[in-house]
Amino acid sequence: GTDRSAVRRGHEREAEIRAQGPSYRTPSRRTLRDHMTEWVRAVQPPELAPTTHRSYSDLTRLYVLPYLGSVKLSDLSAPMVQEWITDLRTRVGPKTVSQARGVLHVALAYAVRLGSLTQNPVDRTRVPRARSGEKRHIDAIPGEHAEQLLAAAYARTLHGPLLEFLG
């Protein structure tokens, strides 16, 4: 009973793997964070200008890893990357989204060259364009904090000199 079903499942899995052809890669526990960390180290100067390397590192740390870092490299898909792009587009400007997507694209092209991926999921994504005339509002400081900051600045500007004069 159990031995035969295990053997049958093994044969079925082997057939699935063969059906995928030479592009099949054994799934790995390696996360995107692991890969991006290795990639950022691999593309250090003199291969890249120091400012480009710093930009790649910053974009990776600030925008790619917080959202996608824990995903296993083998599980990363175009829909998952597209969801990240769409979400990021609501929080930062289009130039930053394009740059972050570009960094992920280059890093995953490196994974394809290493044989860790068979294809780059970023190839099948796009950055949504703003509609003509659409105005985007991005809060650099969340509303309640902005109000506190403005109140403090207002109090210092108008009342500070008066208190000093009266003090």
pLDDT tens-digit readout, 25-64: 455 689 999 999 999 988 877 778 889 999 999 999 999 9
- The span from the CA of 41 to the CA of 56, in Å, is 11
pLDDT in tens, 65-82: 999 999 999 999 999 999
Residues 69 and 34 sit within 8 Å (Cβ to Cβ): no
* DSSP state letter for 132: T
Count Cα atoms within 13 angstroms, Cβ side, for 165. 5
Poorest-pLDDT segment among 64-68, 119-123, 139-143: 139-143
